[in-house]
Structure 1
């Protein structure tokens, strides 16, 4: 059962370039994304369309490993989209960063099709995933604002 697109936003009191630089570094993922155990960039160079990442995460007590590829990206990193290439269920995500004076508005979307992986729990999975997205953004805000 596919879930509808989940969305969350937050305002971070840091310049847009600082926020993008922190999020672009996949080594930071486990610090702010609650489910991420490990995140590695598998391709060379700066993040761009076609870049591939391997992510190991824990969700509902299961360890999931997925490869992701960047499908869209602005030259300045202010918008990107990615989709899973491997793993137990298809996922798509995007992030958009907007300058708002001295702060940055960050918007994230996540589409996930849990289908056969969490058959019975599909409605619960959506709720848990939304809560995780919100916690992740609270973590991101706290880390970036405390290091200012």
Structure 2
């Protein structure tokens, strides 16, 4: 069973500010509820082929995983994916101006769990959706203050 969770929010901040901040891996622990730490495996800045290691806590477990940037259109779209572990994941950020000082950000997580993770996929999707809503609310609060 595939997992595909899409959430979005409108942030009262210009597109460039939202996209630059959200696309910066080093900022992730500040606005992602579950991310504990981030470490570059390649030299910054973000570009196709960049690799970033994350440590997160999800569903009571600590997870370590590495994302590779597979698409990057600054100010428009960022796609990163991992193929390791029992749950390969693809995360997509998109940004769209909805006025001169407002930005719609969409966060999408998709993947196809294997093994035991397949059984837990519906619960994982529900928890991802809840966490993503909190993450985007945190981002909104941070960028609007």
TM-score, normalised via structure 1 length: 0.89
Residue of structure 1 equivalent to 2:89: 91
- Distance, in Å, in 1 between the alignment partners of 2:127 and 2:16 is 30
Q: Distance in 2 between matches of 1:117 and 1:22?
A: 35
Check conservation: 1:89, 1:117, Cα contact below 8 A: no
- RMSD over aligned Cα, in angstroms? 1.5
Q: Distance in 1 between matches of 2:136 and 2:127?
A: 14
Matched position secondary structure for 2:117: coil
Match of 1:47 in 2: 46
2:2 maps to which residue? 2
Unaligned runs of 5+ in 1: none
**Alignment length, in residue pairs?**
144
Secondary structure of the 1:30 match is: helix
Once the two structures are TM-superposed, the CA of residue 36 in structure 1 deviates from its matched residue by: 0.4
CA displacement at 1:22 relative to structure 2: 1.1
In structure 1, distance between residues paired with 2:40 and 2:123? 31
Q: 1:117 to 1:140 in 2, by over 3 A?
A: farther
Gapped runs of 5+ residues in structure 2? none
